[in-house]
Amino acid sequence: MCLIVIGYNYHPGYKLIFAANRDEFYQRPSSSADFWNDEPSLLAGKDLKEGGTWCGITKHGRFAAITNYRDMKSIKKDALSRGTIVTDFLLGTSSPEFYSKGLKDNADLYNGYGLIFGDKSGLYFFSNLAKKLIKIETGIHGLSNHLLNTPWFKVIKGKELLKKAIDKKDNFVDDLFLMLSDKTLSPENELPDTGLTKEIEKSISSIFVETPDYGTRSSTVILIDKNDNVTFIEKSLDGQTKKWTINAFKFEML
């Protein structure tokens, strides 16, 4: 993912309201969200190049989503795929606290990332830059290609729009997808310095990204209500045909 905004225990009817965009090169092959044939409890898209995923949830209540930490000066060419961090947690049984110990031990094997993950017991954030597990508190939070709640333009705007949408209390899903389609670019004086040129930095500063070779490939909304009923809706772009499809799923956690 390249932008995640969440309302955690913020809405009276929902434990989690999750809205996110995945930005990727159009040529990178991936499949849209579905229950995996070899892991029928896992609902996620799949990166067909490395086999991992960027966001997923299981029928047992395990949830995870990852973003890249963008620092062009610190990229390791031999780094392991970050998508497997998500699938390893989702398909495992260890607690978030225990899983984070392995993440800390293996932090240097990966390029930078930020991971939001948890289960029915709670929601957490871990970055292999800070190497510290943070328990996410009640409220609205945002993550882009840096640390949790770093005040980048798209993070601030996403949090504001998510709050505005869910403060309506009901029928806010359409507003969440409208938020995820926002193409407003950051003012130049608010652009981060991640090692990219200012022109490229600006072109990817919006919530929804659209450049000739790279852009938003999927928009995902996940709702978990107080009774552990899950609604998962994904709008996915085929990188070759440039056609959008919608996949929607509903289930009750076990």
The per-residue pLDDT for range 134-169, each reduced to its tens digit, is 999 999 999 999 999 999 999 999 999 999 999 987
Say what the pTM is.
Answer: 0.97
pLDDT of residue 171: 83
Q: Is residue 18 classed as helix, strand or coil in its secondary structure?
A: strand
Task: Give pLDDT tens digits for 70-112.
Answer: 999 999 999 999 999 999 999 999 999 999 999 999 999 999 9
Phi, psi of 5 (to 5 degrees): -130, 135
**What angle, 0 to 180 degrees and rounded to 10, lies between the N-to-C axes of helices 153-166 and 173-180?**
170
Q: Which of 82, 194, 73, 61 is nearest to 127 (CA)?
A: 82
125: pLDDT strictly greater than 90:
yes
The total domain count for the chain is: 1
Q: Are 11 and 17 in contact (CB under 8 A)?
A: yes
Residue with tokens 């890249």: 68
For residue 248, the domain's CATH number is 3.60.60.10
Domain limits for position 166? 3-252
